[in-house]
């Protein structure tokens, strides 16, 4: 009886060793998308009142966990039933990310706000605006989570099913906790800075550090906004490059990053034209 119990423990230990090794490999392969995920979600999790930053971030984090709980079983099911469906879903997600990235650029370049519009935005229900932004963040997270899960799954396809499930689950949990943990640190930088300034009574190293954190936050937020937009285009372009053979063979001598940016921009512009045209047709039909 005792020998059987210890044999089970040995099997569990061997399984966890295999999972640890596989998780390390899978995490390395998803490092790029995790960096993009961080940039995109940090940008989306900012811009709220200080008192609402952590509650909003927690709502997005819960949404991210739910996304992965939905994605992981579906990914395994599709991989078993009809593997090409995963590529199709990834491509649709890539189109969404490309559209979102191009829309941000077009809005920045051509959408000029007037004072009256700014007043209207300030009056608008904050709770409603918060819900809209959280929903957008969770939707984007779904696409990025799908990419992470698929890459992690692809790295362990030759392993046993138990190792596949545990490895993908570990990577998914690490991705969520890691990304949103770092985002939480970023969005609370200014509060930490103000506390340091207050406790240091305006003197010494901690006062300097507090002022640095407060002044650095707007710069970091602006940088993350730019990096997040670029990441949307690069991730979408990478999805097209890796999952569409015709696209993959296009411009073979151009660097991968440049190709991904080009593919993302072209797809985003096409989707923006389709969505804009669709909205105009809908408004005309509605009239």
- What are the contacts of 182-186 at 24+ separation with CB within 8 A? 182/38, 182/42, 183/38, 183/41, 183/42, 183/45, 183/57, 184/54, 184/57, 186/42, 186/46, 186/217, 186/220, 186/221, 186/224
Cα gap 247→55, rounded to integer Å: 41
Q: Longest Cα pair distance anywhere in the chain, in angstroms?
A: 79
Tokens 């609402």 correspond to what residue? Answer: 52
What would the pLDDT profile of 234-287 be if each residue is shown by its tens digit? 888 888 888 888 888 888 888 888 998 999 999 999 999 999 988 888 888 876
Cβ(163)–Cβ(152) below 8 Å: no
What would the pLDDT profile of 144-191 be if each residue is shown by its tens digit? 788 788 777 776 767 777 777 888 888 888 878 877 887 777 777 878
pLDDT value for 238: 85
Indicate yes or no: pTM above 0.75: no
Q: How confident is the model at residue 117 (pLDDT cuts 50, 70, 90)?
A: very low
Q: Is the dihedral of CA 96, 102, 105, 107 positive or negative?
A: negative
What would the pLDDT profile of 76-110 be if each residue is shown by its tens digit? 888 888 878 878 887 888 888 888 889 888 988 88
pLDDT value for 273: 92
């Amino acid at each position: 009886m005792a020998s059987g119990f210890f044999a089970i423990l040995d099997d569990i230990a061997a399984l966890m060793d295999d999972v640890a090794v596989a998780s390390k490999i899978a995490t390395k392969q998803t490092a790029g998308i995790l960096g993009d995920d961080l940039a995109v979600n940090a940008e989306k999790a900012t811009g709220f009142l200080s008192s609402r930053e952590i509650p909003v971030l927690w709502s997005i984090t819960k949404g991210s966990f739910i996304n992965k709980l939905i994605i992981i079983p579906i990914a395994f099911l599709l991989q078993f039933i009809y593997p090409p469906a995963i590529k199709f879903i990834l491509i649709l997600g890539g189109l969404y990310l490309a559209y979102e990235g191009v829309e941000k650029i077009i809005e920045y370049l051509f959408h000029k706000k007037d004072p009256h519009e700014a007043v209207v935005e300030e009056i608008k229900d904050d709770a409603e605006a918060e819900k809209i932004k959280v929903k957008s963040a969770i939707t984007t997270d779904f696409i990025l989570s799908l990419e992470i899960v698929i890459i992690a799954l692809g790295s362990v396809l030759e392993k046993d099913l138990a190792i596949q499930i545990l490895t993908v689950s570990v990577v998914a949990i690490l991705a969520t906790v890691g990304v949103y943990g770092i985002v939480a640190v970023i969005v609370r930088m200014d509060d930490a800075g103000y506390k340091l300034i207050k406790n240091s009574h305006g003197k010494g190293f901690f006062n300097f550090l507090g002022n640095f954190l407060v002044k650095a936050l707007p710069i970091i937020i602006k940088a993350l906004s730019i990096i997040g937009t670029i990441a949307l285009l690069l991730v979408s372009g990478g999805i097209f490059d890796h999952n569409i053979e015709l696209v993959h063979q296009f411009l073979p001598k151009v660097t991968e990053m440049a190709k991904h940016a080009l593919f993302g921009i072209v797809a985003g512009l096409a989707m923006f034209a389709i969505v804009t045209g669709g909205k105009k047709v809908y408004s005309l039909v509605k009239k």
